[in-house]
Structure 1
Amino acid sequence: MNTIRKVAVIGLGYIGLPTAAILATNGLEVIGVDVKQDNVDAINRGEVPFVEPDLNIHVAGSVSMGSLTATTVTPAADAFILAVPTPFNPDKTADLSYIEAAARGLAPRLVGGELVILESTSPPGTTQHLADYLIGLRPDLSLDGADNKPIVHVAHCPERVLPGRVMIELVTNDRIVGGITDEATELARQLYQVFCQGDIHLTDAATAEMAKLVENAYRDVNIAFANELSMVSEKVGIDVWELIELANHHPRVNILQPGPGVGGHCIAVDPWFIVSAAPNESKLIRQARETNDAKPAWVIDQVKLAVKQVGDTATVAALGLAFKANIDDLRESPAVSIVRQLNIDLPECAVLVAEPHVSELPETLSSLTNVALKDLGTAVAEADIVLLLVDHDEFKEMDKSVLDGKVVVDTRGIWR
């Protein structure tokens, strides 16, 4: 088997940079590749361009030791890890353009014997597509040694970490590895064994791809149940938080918590890949997605009811923009879409956004009139209506007396 000493990690976002850093702190030479020069420059200074607990320690340490560097050009390496986005197209199929772009960058560096791992969450068949795409770019290579051509080994190993706990879960979580060939699977297992303390489960590439999608679809269905309960409870006059708490005392019931919708790069996206692969057989998965995607509109309706109490020129404090607590990740965040739609539906209302983990509004909100980023104290003090969208610790710990005399719409149940 090949010995892997040098790894190129392509895509230095919320998954790629932690993966690069953990490999670098475990004795490998790692070169991170990213299209954003600002990110590359920050990492080469030992800085982290986003919020993730403990990541700065690993990045600063590995950069200072010289085991981690960043660049915009894919270098030669023994192994390549692709951690690039896989968003969905308007028809909910996967956009593979980032994967193909990464392949075009690394293909000229291949000489044979390298391991190429796709970590990006992908529909079944994507790893095979990547492998075939690489061979199309490099017909002098092969996937199995046919015609005595040098082999490039291709495998899939989906990330399975929770934002806010990435540096812990990278090490402790089990991993699933599936290769195009048995040799690719074994090479990938050896690489992840460098830092992974959890069990490494071996399978084929398509099953590894599907396993990640199923994990997130399972959570999506459960969240949809909780979100539907919240809407039913509101209609019949029941406190959904108390209802779920009581129901969860049953030994075989574990209902998740409702919220304003579902966001992030995984749960809000991945189930659609299953639906697109088997639309007639995935009716429950589709319904869960549609239920969660509809929840922001329900939240907006609750705010509109509050505005009727206060007046058409009410000021709304929208607390939180991230897709989950205590991070700065706004990808697919329902909070962002809610704030934007409030500006459209309630043009006379000022919306004051408090998000302690960002220093400026995202581009989708920054150009809107009557929407402004404020500190928590100012936003709440000036508001007639307080809309809680994200359960950041800062919001949980605030003095609740500042809410006196205000209409509160709490989508997270932290102020019961």
Structure 2
Amino acid sequence: MKRKIPSFIEIYRSLIKIPTISSDNILLDKSNKNFIDLLSNYFADLNFSIQTKQIIHTDKYNMLARIGSGQGGLLLSGHSDTVDFDEKTWTKDPFTLTEQDNKFYGLGAIDMKGFFVFILDVISSINTKKLTKPIYILATANEETDMSGAKYFIESSTIKPECIIIGEPTSLQLINAHKGHISYSIEVIGKTGHASNPEDGINSIEIMHSIIQRLLLLKNFLKQKYQHKNFSIPYPTMNLSSIHGGDAINRICSICTLNLEIRPIPGLTLLQVEKLIQENLQSIITRWYNRIFIKKLYSSIPSYQCSYKKNTTRIVEKLCKSKCTTVNYCTEAPFLQKIAPTLILGPGSIEQAHQPDEYLDMSFIKPTKNIINKLIHAFCF
């Protein structure tokens, strides 16, 4: 069968070449439209039907490609964007695929442009005319910031695949659960004055000290109350990540700010976390009315777990010849799981993600193609 698309290396090189950085810094943030257009063309050349949708109020796009008809089938998903990079720490051009020492280097090599290369390569060798159920390919936007691409997709999609695989770099270990993430900034507004007369002001650091005491009690409560034995750290974690306040030794501190994050395990919802924060701080907030302000720092991500009660999990475990495990980082899984049972499985190590000289070890190439081929035949033939 004549190949309709370029070679594995040529596709890999072309996708790495296009900057698709997602960043809260608008000077660094890039549209992914050129990437989505090119990816769409590759799948169109393989006779997929293509839908691209712009994320509202952004210059970012999702792509959904489909081939085959009927119900069920398989959705292979990845995000089109990458993190920013520090050119001082990279020894290679982030936008040039570099082959060296049995590795492919480039920004997005594993997180996650490379996954699309594997999908294209496998499907190009499959007789898709014999499909009995559809293959879907989803490329999302803004995973590295607010996950608005995945959120927009589930709001507007009507498809119901039997299984979703997210190709994040898991070293081809099958993942069925991860923690969530919620972050806060707490600002205390006191009243400045000369340090020689403490009664003349309100020291925001002293109020923050009371807040921190309550938060540490909550931290211990979370550790004792919520447990999930499948995680290497089997309880929700809280990190007091930064604190700022004061500007002179002889001045009462008027403003103190604390940033913190909580990573809930499955079974502890974001709403429960928010209620616990409010309940534990309420007496201090009441006492210092209109002086304590709590806001979320980033878009929150729920914890995720794909139940063993789902037949999908058992099917994929059998294909992979391994049992599911868990990770502590976040993905789009809690959003996509609203559509279908979702598992995380992809080439490359998470240790290389978001790192200078990001790379894919070539030892992943053959087994990744093999497992994608097995997944397609299990769910679509």
Range of TM-score over shorter length: under 0.3
Compare relative contact order (CA 8 Å, sep 6+) and give the higher one, 1 or 2.
Answer: 2
| The structure with more helix, counted as a fraction of residues | 1
Task: Give the TM-score taking structure 1 as reference length.
Answer: 0.26
